[in-house]
Structure 1
């Protein structure tokens, strides 16, 4: 990682390349500014913490990570994980869990787990991302319609029930602003303008809300300024503090009750499952983003370095108020399309966020909460991958459809951790079942005249790995021989694996065949696997067990035993 960083920093840039990366960074900065605030609000913390994340983690991960074009910051995937942490442990617990997740990511990178994304089945990924999209969209209904809903910390169905019960409190002002913002978000891309749709939509929403507030006495909507407050050196303010974040240890920040959360082994134990979840999701999201970026940019990322970079960024960002971060596919795609080819564009994007905090904080306070909810509804829709979800339901094998629906429903009704764990478990079990059907022993049908096979000889072909899943099937098939059989030949030419379960099964096969006065000949097994069997006691014994290199040799050994 350090050598790659040194090479990147020492590379001389042409004027055109420098200009392209600066412009790409500014473009992504414009996109990231409102998204970072919206995702922080959705995660249950004030909007400035999303900006701090994009500013600090975005730059550090770009410099230390393994992708030249990834743009990192707060993402929608984290919302369903972070919100319960904030509700239970407050801001201090959230930042501490993010710091712990960063440490886990660094360890994952050092352990060279960068190819983690390859072992996660497609239905699992689509299932939990679609579920996250549904949960995020549901959480935005309150602000979009201006509902008076008391905070609900229960499961999804309880939240839906609370929202449904509160629909009598709908306010036309909030609904109007939310609808206008949503319409602009949906219609603006059809104009094919280079100006990001959400920038235009939030600007229109804020202007319409401000004008109506000035012209109508009974018109009022919640804004970032009215919803969030801060106090600096005894001076209170509204919206986003126009100051850079200061260094603070996460354990000095408040818990859910407002008192400093502190640091203890018990707190770490309680936060560890959440930290592991954040780390795993961050790893999957960042590596998937890097793969997509490689396809768009023609570059190649270093997966283990990317994990280490993500870890470093997530360890540093909480020290300055940043929430957990990972690579964002939408922002990375915008970066590549805008000409970004180096980490410089991500650093410029972070610099834009920094200047926005210092110079635009008073203006950002006018953004209506209904407009932010509309933005998050579009983010949730894009994240749900509805087209891919429906396509998978139509064309995927039945087993994959079951995994997809299980991950989706578990994410919505319970949480993503359970969904991924169950989805991976189901995928593993179904994979084992398929492997058993492919790698089990099959009776070989050979030309008896050419090979001169006696009637008392049976030949089984074991094709593929012999492991815990297929070992019992092999045991049952091979030991169920006819009474007249005197020799069993196992052709193991294509056996690539023998685990402990298979070794125990082979012991049982040898013992059961010996009890029936049936000899066992093992044909063409790889020397390293023969050594394993010999260590287990399955050694050559006259008239009982033999090893051969070729089928002809096996038949030669078998004939005297018939």
Structure 2
């Protein structure tokens, strides 16, 4: 197999020479995303580094430096035109684990190793293989990460404190919090809750170009400055926690992390987990961006770009970084269509550091905690937990196991065991759906009502056939086939009489396809579906989404239904 022909999207931008109007639009989008990224970068840095860790810069400074350096590199070297990179909440549990076990130097080395792994994955054309990680695994660890983030923010959110630092292990952490519950500070909780309210309600009542997290940070800073003047009130701020010069007004210096064979051996699994998590989140973000812009990213070039960012960032003290779905979506909503917006986003953060870093010490810690709690609430797949009862037993087991292991232990263990369980479940399903039957001279491959030969397809109708088990490894093929269309028809018939089994990942792919096609004025008609896929759709309550009238027993009936839908649309 030939190595991937690497071509970053920024090179494409330089070759096309954008107009002045395009540059202005991209700059405006980049500035807006820079404002969105600022409080997130500060909060993620604080949440990622344990108190007392030996670092060359403060935790909030490491977060903002990562957003600047990695954000710039991902936009320049990545395979997506609109991807915005930087530190993300998904890395918090694993970064905490690495720093606690191997120190800050261990984190730098693990991040560099993850960068090398990502670059090798890209050149080996493994970008397309990420889609084979099943939905229950990704949903389980995403929701588990959200819960873990909220647990880590309880101290700053509530003001709880004790003689000893909060432990790293989950059960010990819960025990410590319960033991010190009496130290809860009502004013700190009030500031945190009001900050959450501002973040939640601002997009609904305020100027949408100004992020709610920025508004919460400004209002929280003013409120805490006033409250701290009162006798007996002392709400923690970035300055009181990390010193008045928490964020230096300059970029970090070059540093060479210590490297040893023993450390490489110890860090190979955490580094692999960082690489896997980075690849999943960045490519998922790129897929979401493709849906919003009708563009197509290069998954292998994107992995190489992510690898370059994670390889270089540690030389300047940076944390692991990846593509951020929320920031990327905000970039697109504000007009970003080229990597120039991502570059401007990084440069705007740099300008803020150089000009306004001295004001960072006044930012209240409960507001920073509120920012991350709201991020966690948005990233969790809470709907999946509600639908556990409707899932197949195997999928529910994989999701809950991955979720529990992420919360109680760590992401490395969760991904390993989740993938093993998913693979075993896949093998079991394939073996259960394989049939061995005796062939006689009376057998025919298809009954007359299923035969397509000789039957005219009405104008405005396209027909696709799915052959074989429709499981997580094949779900993406259906989307790829339909994305190649230049003009969308009025009706698409999916012939599923040769599909013997379907899993939850394929189910969600089918539901998402129906919703996307509906937005384009295209109806989906399913013909000849078997009992197991139909039962899965019924249990998940997806039949209502697809429309019960659009399920036909055979191909002849599907053609009649398609003609009826075309007639109704006229």
TM bucket, shorter chain: 0.7 to 0.9
Q: Tell me which of 281, 289, 293 is aligned to 1:293.
A: 289
Q: Deviations over 1:394-431 (max 9, x none)?
A: 53222211111111111111111221222211111111
Q: Deviations over 1:472-492 (max 9, x none)?
A: xxxxxxxxxxxxxxxxxxxxx
Which entry has the higher C-alpha Rg, 1 or 2? 1
Q: Tell me which of 108, 121, 130 is aligned to 2:134.
A: 121
How far 1:119 moved relative to its partner?
0.4
Kept in 2: contact 1:71–1:327 (CA 8 A): yes
Q: Deviations over 1:439-471 (max 9, x none)?
A: 2422224439xxxxxxxxxxxxxx979xxxxxx
How far 1:182 moved relative to its partner?
1.7
1:497-508 matches, cutoff 5 A: none
Q: Distance in 2 between matches of 1:337 and 1:154?
A: 38
The question of 1:62 aligning with 2:75 is answered: yes
- In structure 1, the partner of 2:250 is 243
The question of 1:197 aligning with 2:212 is answered: yes
Provide closer, same or farther for how the CA distance between residues 190 and 4 of structure 1 changes in structure 2, counting only shifts above 3 A.
closer
Kept in 2: contact 1:105–1:310 (CA 8 A): yes
Q: Distance in 2 between matches of 1:189 and 1:390?
A: 27
- In structure 2, the partner of 1:217 is 231
Q: Deviations over 1:515-556 (max 9, x none)?
A: xxxxxxxxxxxxxxxxxxxxxxxxxxxxxxxxxxxxxxxxxx
Q: Distance in 2 between matches of 1:72 and 1:427?
A: 29
Q: Tell me which of 381, 404, 407 is aligned to 1:385.
A: 381
RMSD over equivalenced CA pairs, Å: 1.9
The question of 1:38 aligning with 2:43 is answered: yes
Q: Distance in 2 between matches of 1:218 and 1:81?
A: 37
- In structure 1, the partner of 2:332 is 336
Q: Distance in 2 between matches of 1:125 and 1:369?
A: 30
Provide closer, same or farther for how the CA distance between residues 97 and 414 of structure 1 changes in structure 2, counting only shifts above 3 A.
same
The question of 1:77 aligning with 2:90 is answered: yes
1:36-435 matches, cutoff 5 A: 36-44=41-49, 46-149=59-162, 150-191=164-205, 193-194=207-208, 195-214=210-229, 216-229=230-243, 237-251=244-258, 263-391=259-387, 393-435=388-430
- In structure 1, the partner of 2:540 is none
Provide closer, same or farther for how the CA distance between residues 464 and 286 of structure 1 changes in structure 2, counting only shifts above 3 A.
closer
How many pairs are equivalent? 432
The secondary structure found in structure 1 opposite 2:254 is coil
Structure 1 alignment gaps of length 5 or more: 230-236, 252-262, 449-462, 466-493, 495-562
1:442-457 matches, cutoff 5 A: 442-447=437-442
Kept in 1: contact 2:143–2:403 (CA 8 A): yes
- In structure 2, the partner of 1:11 is 16
The secondary structure found in structure 1 opposite 2:236 is coil
Q: After the TM superposition, which of the residue ranges 170-179 and 290-299 deviates more from structure 2?
A: 170-179
TM-score by length of 2: 0.73
Q: Distance in 1 between matches of 2:168 and 2:83?
A: 35
Q: Distance in 1 between matches of 2:81 and 2:8?
A: 14
Q: Distance in 1 between matches of 2:91 and 2:101?
A: 16
Q: Distance in 2 between matches of 1:3 and 1:221?
A: 46
Q: After the TM superposition, which of the residue ranges 34-43 and 168-177 deviates more from structure 2?
A: 168-177
Q: Distance in 1 between matches of 2:177 and 2:9?
A: 51
- In structure 2, the partner of 1:475 is none
Q: Deviations over 1:312-349 (max 9, x none)?
A: 01111111111100000000000000000011000000
Q: Distance in 2 between matches of 1:3 and 1:265?
A: 33
Kept in 2: contact 1:21–1:344 (CA 8 A): yes
How far 1:302 moved relative to its partner?
0.2
Q: After the TM superposition, which of the residue ranges 154-163 and 66-75 deviates more from structure 2?
A: 154-163
Provide closer, same or farther for how the CA distance between residues 51 and 407 of structure 1 changes in structure 2, counting only shifts above 3 A.
same
Q: Deviations over 1:265-319 (max 9, x none)?
A: 1111112211111011001110111000000111110000000000001111111
Q: Tell me which of 8, 13, 25 is aligned to 1:20.
A: 25
Q: Deviations over 1:343-370 (max 9, x none)?
A: 1000000001111111111112111111
The secondary structure found in structure 2 opposite 1:322 is coil
Q: Distance in 2 between matches of 1:388 and 1:121?
A: 14
Q: Deviations over 1:160-200 (max 9, x none)?
A: 11111111111223222212212212222321531211111
- In structure 2, the partner of 1:439 is 434
Provide closer, same or farther for how the CA distance between residues 151 and 272 of structure 1 changes in structure 2, counting only shifts above 3 A.
farther
The secondary structure found in structure 1 opposite 2:437 is strand
Structure 2 alignment gaps of length 5 or more: 1-5, 51-58, 444-466, 470-497, 499-570
Kept in 1: contact 2:8–2:77 (CA 8 A): no
Q: Distance in 1 between matches of 2:91 and 2:256?
A: 22
The secondary structure found in structure 1 opposite 2:251 is coil
Displaced runs of 4 or more, over 6 A: none
The secondary structure found in structure 2 opposite 1:365 is helix
